[in-house]
Amino acid sequence: MELKLKLFSSLMEHLPDEAVGNTVKVVTTVPKSCNDLVARYKIPPESVQVVMVNGEHVSSESRDDPLRDGDTISIWPSIQGG
C-alpha cells in the first residue's frame, strides 16, 4: 500500500528528512488510518484541525477508517489569528 501524506504550516516540522516539500510517500503493508499516520509521525492530535483524503473532508469521527492504496492525506493545524 502506498499513500501520500501532506502536512501544512507548523505541522511540516513532523515530516521526515526524505520528504519533498510538504509531502512524504508512505509505504506500508498494513492498512492505515488518518489517526495511524498522525501517531506514526508524532503529530500531537490536538494540533490537527482539518484532515482531507483525496480532497474530501474527513470528520474527526471518521479518522480511524482504513485508507486505500493511492490515497493522498492532507492535514492542517489549528490556525489562530488576531
- What is the model's pTM? 0.92
- Structural domain boundaries in the chain: 2-77
Return the H-helix or E-strand segment holding 37: helix 34-40
Ranges of residues in the chain whose predicted pLDDT is under 50? none
pLDDT reported for residue 81:
62
Domain 2-77 in CATH 3.10.20.30: yes
Question: What is the rounded CA–CA span in Å between residue 24 and residue 36?
Answer: 15
CA of 39: how far to CAs of 34, 64, 81, 82, in Å?
9, 12, 27, 30
Distance of CA 46 to the CA centre of its chain: 13
pLDDT in tens, 16-29: 999 999 999 999 98
